[in-house]
Structure 1
């Protein structure tokens, strides 16, 4: 058996020395990581439901009686004094201070040990197209293969071993907040993990199919001598204390050979992966090792097409692996530690939103089912947040969530409880799901109820100035400071109200509901422009700008809600562009910026696609590569130099690629709007867009001045074709000859279900 190098995937000839550099796979419920070397490989089993209770109090103090006092202090003395008062009062009422979410944690560590100290021809690979992880090497010319995948058919982690001698051991975590008990019965191991400071725990079942297998005496595991290939099957089963605990195996046993199990899985995974396809490189270039490709890009000082294609594929692969039962957390579905950064939780002030950024455009709708399920599970706690902190009906999202959605992550230094637009941002994907799919039942039963609860919060929370304009007080721009009327607060509220208004219209709701939305929308504060000509981050005259920051919250109308563009509101568009330029100068392109941050770079890139800045998109790609923000799997790190395993950048990068190639808003289809010079030709297929549009094919060749588009709409509509970086010497309905530095715009009528071709 030979190691087949995947063309849609990555490989390296270097073993992994740490879990962050592991090969990774998943099925949206289980995740797996494989790292080590032939002498000792480790399989880490993960499950999306594993968050370790810490025994912290989840008590929310009732702060609603003190809201008006806090607002009075804000008006008279400022935010610093108001926050100090509020925090002191909360602690008097029993608040324990800033509390991290219960952390995500691994489900099992299984080691595979051998005496293969003298090995050659080592390779390890991930096939993104199939989800299969392969490790191969030679000992005295004998080839050894280890293969792993997470089945989408039987929901188990499957591991294959070549014939040989192996010692297999399950790690005893010996973790003080968890009790572990293992029992080995022949070829089956059952391990119970009981949480000591919270509800439930989980079970792990491991089956080994091998000849000459002997249980170990001192630890949970086996010694195996086998002349035939071996199969290990692992399953993690979380349970709650108030639910029936069952570890009964399935009565209908799936096939026991690796090939059959893999074939039943791969048809599902491969179909998902191939729904969208980016082609920038040849098969030969794709077969190079990942670190060879990275070094080529570094030495050339530019993004190479083949590496960008790999990064793009890695992003969609991450989402396919991590989204399903829930949505990706900070680390996707993978972790090898009980103490992940920021608890490895669901962080809602930018990270979750970036991790799902390309879900709709990649046509991975089933992944968003997990997102909607998570929000629904957290809603009772979101309601309690709104009531306890602001005496309001409706919902207020926490910034950090895992087992709980209660907002416990704040103190005087980090007053994150003042950030009230989180639920509205989460709702963005609810309405977008409708726009992409046209699912009116989802619109009625999921979108409108969620938006209405957010509006209930606004009704109770917002106050009016003397002229009738709403005021958001308190208000906070995510992690960058507090002042009344943070621009993101207004932008999110406007999007919520406009989406709810439109949803009411579509489904024929009574006029009084539409009128209520319109009245509230009209009371929103107007955006402000400062003396630099930049859109202000806080719409208060006495609050200055802090341009040196990784968050781009005030540019929400540009990168997320698409509230305006250069045609609909040119003055505000230019102000937003100036604000963006200030952020670039002070943070992104400043070596003395406050911190490196992959999520900040991704938001910068998403803004750059809208402002049609191809050089900046290229610069963001290069910053990721030059600063070593990738592991060998091409999963990303939060900081430079592989510091902190985080996948939000992976989730966002395919959306950056989509938007730089084809983008749609305000009935305008933008083609090649931010295409870097280094990506001068290529093709993409299957990208989905709002208004039920599908780009069946887009191919381009800048040198040949050739562009070809095939697009289909599920509804009848007319769209405006827009090429901001090019001009057309021929502007009829079928032909575009491209020239740079001018613009072309033409109207295309689309009939329902009829493919339209432009070349």
Structure 2
């Protein structure tokens, strides 16, 4: 029974010692983690809807009547006094202080015990192409194998055991906030979980199929099987409006694992293969992940095979985690009831990074989960706007899970002054249209959301004496307060611009068009400080704090693409200086205030725009050097595998896409930040804005040539740009694409 090593995936020779290092898979609704211990294995079942109610007060303080007073204190005494007053007044009104969102929690822990103490030839693996997890080993020359996947067709976790004797049991969770009742009858384990502080809960059903003999007790099932045994596991959440689930056979007796897997595999493989990065050989791909990572550390550089696997791992994370909802901080996986930052949806950078490559990887199914989540949170986003600022429209919370109410703030973390969150979320609504050309979505989803955000701005923004808008209060994410944070202005500018463009695309008349144009013109201009750097706050006397992991003020560079070196060279230069200051003080500073994978990813995304290939490679190297990966290649938030967190996984494929081929301002940038260590390679299937697809892009730096093919669903004209190869021989620097007519290019560098 040979363990077939994954060509696209990872394998290792040791079981997991902690949940963060488990094998992972998922289908966008269910997730699974497999430790792979032959003696006492642990399978953790996850579901995207499981957030444990904590019984916290969810009442927002009615602070809108005090907004004028807060602004007066900001103007006369400064932000420190204003924050203190705001917090004191809110607690007088019943606010309980900084409140974590309800935490993401595991659905079940299933234990599988054997007497296989003296095992050998151990391997465990993840196949990114299929979503299948495998564990294999030998005992007394007898081969054993366990296989797992999360079915795209049956919406269940499927696990197969080799013939043998097994003792399976469900962990009894001990938590005052949840009650568990487990019943075992014949070949079914049924556990009911009721939340203490809500009328919700969930059921777990585990069905055993194929065993010759089953011996059940109140606590376990003993399996004796001469042929493979299948475990089918399903989590079914319920709420006050739904009823408890009733068991019906999830899988019919006699069905084989192979048949179940093939139906699932067709769907998963199709999604995974929509884009493909090829940097190495199959011989290299089949090496163990431990050897590959060790080699990269020893050589102090990223290797093509490791980068390819990091890229594949990022897309695999998204396929597994996005569907019913969007990935949370931990994707769709957790093994603890106390995850960092509740393992929730964190909207001040993390969610945005986790979906960064979704559109360019053509993962439209996953984006539906993102839009669904926002729609579910909209009513509470409206309440945030009304209660805090007396405004119509929406204000996004920074942390959300069961609730979108903004309760996560205090004097030390004045996150309630960060008002651009909804506008940042709206970036992907308009981008979805740009990638797909879906005018129905643009009209029915994007425009209504953009309008809600503009309503908030109408009521929130005040004018200076010269008629210029002022954002007050204002906050640059986790880096301090001052009026007119640059990101606030950049996001508002993008929202208003996209709203007007959307109306133009649809030829929609609106009596509000003149008002939106006037609002856009009233936004304050960006400012440049004495260092020549783009300022993070447009407030006189507010000093820059370059030593910080957030890159909020560079939003016009890495996200909205508002300007470049051609459209606004002065501002582009200032943004580059601001970026360099951040690199010196934070990213490349050994004494920086903290490590952060999301900060490194934003650094890399900026580096692709500033055409800094050495920095892109340095970011990749920092992730490896500082142990920011688990065996699965899922990432950690901090160095040394501290805090399981997948936003870096979501962003890394986008970094790769942008360093190879990028599009903005009618300009197609090729190899704009390609590290010199990646001498040759090929990428297929990348999607670009304006409904374009890169059928393939091949490069060979040794032979100094590029070959590529482009497809477009609409007619458009674009220009070729090779910033790292100014002497390149480009026969057609400017050309027109016609609908569904391939355009081939061959370029000598």
Q: Report if TM-score (shorter chain) is over 0.5.
A: yes
Q: Within the alignment, does 1:9 sit opposite 2:24 as a pair? A: no
Instruction: Give 1:190 shift.
Output: 1.1
Q: Which residue of 2 aligns with 1:118?
A: 118
Distance 1:480 1:252 in 2: 52
Once residues 473 and 35 of structure 2 are traced to their aligned partners in structure 1, the CA distance between those partners, rounded to angstroms, is 47
1:328 — aligned with what?
327
3-state SS of 2:267 partner = helix
RMSD over aligned Cα, in angstroms? 1.1
Partner in structure 2 of residue 750 of structure 1: 737
Find the counterpart in structure 2 of residue 78 from structure 1. Answer: 78
**Contact 2:64–2:387 (CA<8 Å) still a contact in 1?**
yes
The equivalent residue for 2:623 is 624
| Unaligned segments of structure 1, at least 5 residues | 734-745
Q: By how many angstroms is 1:216 displaced?
A: 4.4
The equivalent residue for 1:276 is 275
Deviates more, 1:36-45 or 1:630-639: 36-45
1:211-230 aligned at under 5 Å gives the runs 211-217=211-217, 219=219, 221-230=220-229
Name the residue aligned to 2:144: 144
Task: Give how far 1:516 is off.
Answer: 1.8
Is contact 1:17–1:36 with CA below 8 Å preserved after alignment?
A: no
**Deviation by residue 1:222-245 (Cα, 9 ceiling, x = unmatched):** 111111111000000000022233
Aligned to 2:679: 680
How many Å apart are 1:20 and its aligned residue? Answer: 0.3
Aligned residues: 746
Unaligned runs of 5+ in 2: none
Bigger mean CA offset, 209-218 vs 51-60: 209-218
Residues 251 and 123 from structure 1, CA distance in 2 versus in 1: closer, same or farther, beyond 3 angstroms?
closer
Q: Could you say what secondary structure the match of 1:368 adopts? A: helix
Q: Which residue of 2 aligns with 1:266?
A: 265
Q: Tell me the alpha carbon deviations over residues 172-226 of structure 1, each in whole angstroms, 9 at most, x when there is no partner.
A: 012211110111110011110000112310000000013344444352x211111
CA distance in 2, matches of 1:112, 1:126: 19
Query: What are the Cα deviations for residues 395-419 of structure 1, in whole angstroms up to 9, with x where unaligned?
Result: 0000000000000000111000000
Give 1:285 shift.
0.2
Residue 246 of structure 1 and its aligned partner are, at CA, apart by 2.5
Give the corresponding residue for 1:210: 210
Matches within 5 A, 1:559-638: 559-638=558-637
Residues 1:255 and 1:435: Cα distance change in structure 2 (over 3 Å)? farther
Matched, 1:200 2:200: yes
Secondary structure of 2:511's counterpart equals: helix
TM superposition shift of 1:509: 1.9
How far the C-alpha of 1:15 sits from its partner, in A, is 1.1
- The answer for the alignment partner of 2:57 in structure 1 is 57
Query: How far apart in 1 are the matches of 2:475 and 2:203?
Result: 42
TM superposition outliers: structure 1 runs of 4+ over 6 Å? none
Alignment of 1:108-257 (within 5 A): 108-217=108-217, 219=219, 221-249=220-248, 253=252, 256-257=255-256
- Does the residue aligned with 2:726 lie in a helix, a strand or coil? strand
Determine if contact 2:130/2:269 at 8 Å carries over to the other structure: yes
| TM-superposed deviation, 1:250 | 5.9
Secondary structure of residue in 2 paired with 1:2: coil
1:30 maps to 30
Q: Tell me the distance in 1 between the aligned counterparts of 2:338 and 2:654.
A: 30
Q: Is the Cα–Cα contact under 8 Å of residues 213 and 222 in structure 1 kept in the other structure? A: no
Q: CA deviation at 1:731?
A: 3.1
- 1:425-436 correspondence to structure 2 within 5 Å: 425-436=424-435
SS in 1 for 2:234: strand
Q: SS of 1:727's equivalent?
A: coil
CA distance in 2, matches of 1:535, 1:380: 36
Post-superposition offset of 1:591: 0.6
Q: Helix, strand or coil: the match of 1:596?
A: coil
Separation in structure 1 between the aligned mates of residue 248 and residue 61 of structure 2, nearest angstrom: 45
Contact 2:36 2:135 in 1 (8 A): no
Distance 1:385 1:729, change over 3 A: closer
CA contact (8 A) 2:613 2:673 kept: yes
Instruction: Output the CA distance in 1 between the equivalents of 2:609 and 2:369.
Output: 29
Q: Residue deviations 1:479-533, cap 9 Å, x none?
A: 0000000000000000000000100111112253322221110000000000000
Question: What's the CA shift for 1:252?
Answer: 8.3
CA contact (8 A) 2:327 2:351 kept: yes
Q: Aligned partners of 2:250 and 2:125: how far apart in 1? A: 34
With over 3 angstroms needed to count, the CA separation of the structure-2 counterparts of 1:453 and 1:254, relative to structure 1, is farther
Indicate the SS of the match to 1:628.
coil
- How far apart are 1:257 and its partner, in Å? 1.2
The equivalences for 1:540-559 within 5 A come to 540-559=539-558
What are the residue-to-residue correspondences of 1:276-315 with 2, within 5 Å?
276-315=275-314
- 1:517 equivalent to 2:516? Answer yes
Asked if structure 2 preserves the Cα contact closer than 8 Å seen for 1:154 and 1:254, the reply is no
Who is 1:505 aligned against?
Answer: 504
Q: How far apart, CA to CA, are the structure 2 residues paired with 1:327 and 1:9?
A: 23
How far the C-alpha of 1:254 sits from its partner, in A, is 8.6
Conserved? CA contact 2:24–2:34, under 8 Å: yes
Residue 237 of structure 2 aligns to a residue whose secondary structure is: strand
Distance 2:672 2:446 in 1: 31
1:716 and 1:751 in contact (8 A); partners too:
yes
Match of 1:373 in 2: 372
Segment of structure 1 superposing worse, 295-304 or 623-632: 295-304
Mean Cα deviation higher: 209-218 or 188-197: 209-218
Is the contact between residue 681 and residue 698 of structure 2 (CA under 8 Å) also seen in structure 1?
yes
Aligned-partner Cα distance in 2 for 1:226–1:536: 68
Which moved further from structure 2: 435-444 or 172-181?
172-181
SS at match of 1:414: coil
Residue 249 of structure 1 and its aligned partner are, at CA, apart by 2.2
1:729 and 1:226 map into 2 onto residues whose CA distance is 66
Distance in 2 (alpha carbons) for counterparts of 1:317 and 1:251: 26
